[in-house]
Amino acid sequence: MALKAGVATLISMAAAFDLPGLADFGMAAILEFTEEPMAGRSNAKAGLPVVMMHGMGDFGNNPMGMVPLRKLIAETANAYVHSVELCSDPTKLSDCDTQDQSNGFFMTMDEQVDQFARVVRADAKLSGGFNAVGFSQGNTVIRGYIHKYNNPPVKTFLSMHGVMMGVNGLPQCPMSVPGVGPLCRAVDAIVSHAGVYSSFVQNRLAQANYYRDAENLVEYRTHGHFLPYINNEVQGHQNSTYKQNFQSLEKLVLVMAEDDTMVHPKESEHFGYFKDGSRTELVTMRDAPWYKEDWFGLKSLDEAKKIEFHSTPGNHLRFKKDFLVEMVQRYFVTESSVVV
């Protein structure tokens, strides 16, 4: 109820603003994929279940992307795959395409993580733990779940172009996708109107919850929701469970898009970022304070040789099908699920 009213407010607010330049944002965060899945390996033992989390502007039941992709991953890993939808009503766990699509913008990251947890906990097939694959912002949701819940636990986390260390600049909105244009305009309008760290925006816009302004870290840590907390970078609010949960991963696979124009800086996908105090100078993961001081378990994971880095040519979510198949085979197919 409150959320619906919020969205209506945003859209009507957006209509009141003139927004030049947005038409240039033609890049979709949506993964388009229509290929037919290959034949299944019927006599193999089932692999560990997989959970998929879609990106901004997309929806879990998208017949032009997430659904065929779910089948492809299921065939490749020989496993049950659940493509998570985020509905607005906490008791509704699926079949809400329109809400699922707009909630990627207007449901806060904390609420998205809570709803993700409800969905996976209600699925008995996942009760023994699961592998997770996220696309773009979906990885930020999965990361939040690992820190704050991780019960049932994530074993291997495959991040496809994931927003790991936040963004400094709002992600380009997929304007050209039918139905998404008004949402994009709303996003732009409220941020330019109220400011990204205002409580109005923090309480209403998911992307603001991982906006990490490296030139303004005090503001970000004082007024930002979600990312500063899961990063354990807010003094007095560090939570050792967040760190323990993250370092309990069996494998963290980080895939970056080499020419990503949506996630800024793209190095965030490899847990690098802008150096503290700068919006131009980059710092790699291993040179960054969040790593060196092991704020949330990243260094522990790396020292246990559990982090793998990959990159794909081209822009955001424009990886090849064969690349994803290779990742799934390499990281999700366990010995027990291979036909001998």
Ligand X SMILES: *[C@@H]1O[C@H](CO)[C@@H](O)[C@H](O)[C@H]1NC(C)=O
**Residues belonging to the active site:** 136, 260, 316
Residue 65's contacts (CB-CB under 8 Å, 6 or more residues apart) are: 30, 31, 32, 33, 34, 54, 58
- Among 54, 71, 143, 148, the residue binding ligand X under the rule CB under 6 A is 148
Residue 340's contacts (CB-CB under 8 Å, 6 or more residues apart) are: none
Closest separation in Å from C-beta 6 to ligand X: 25
In the block, which residue shows the tokens 């991040």? Answer: 159
C-alpha span between 174 and 168 (Å, rounded)? 18
* Nearer Cβ to ligand X (141/175): 141
* 238 lines the binding site for ligand X (CB under 6 A): no
In angstroms, the Cα distances linking 284 to 147, 217, 227, 276 are 22, 18, 19, 12
C-alpha span between 171 and 67 (Å, rounded)? 24
Binding mask 68-107 for ligand X (x = CB under 6 A): ----------------------------------------
C-alpha span between 250 and 315 (Å, rounded)? 28
What are the b/e assignments for 9-26, b being 16+ CB within 10 Å?
ebbeebeeeeeeebeebe
* 239 lines the binding site for ligand X (CB under 6 A): yes
* Nearer Cβ to ligand X (239/337): 239
* Nearer Cβ to ligand X (241/284): 241
Closest separation in Å from C-beta 145 to ligand X: 10
* SS3 call for 58: coil
Closest separation in Å from C-beta 141 to ligand X: 15
Closest separation in Å from C-beta 205 to ligand X: 23
* Nearer Cβ to ligand X (148/225): 148
Number of residues that bind ligand X (CB under 6 A): 3
* Nearer Cβ to ligand X (222/241): 241
* 225 lines the binding site for ligand X (CB under 6 A): no
Closest separation in Å from C-beta 300 to ligand X: 17
C-alpha span between 107 and 23 (Å, rounded)? 24
Binding mask 241-280 for ligand X (x = CB under 6 A): x---------------------------------------
Residue 304's contacts (CB-CB under 8 Å, 6 or more residues apart) are: 247
List residues binding ligand X (CB under 6 A).
148, 239, 241
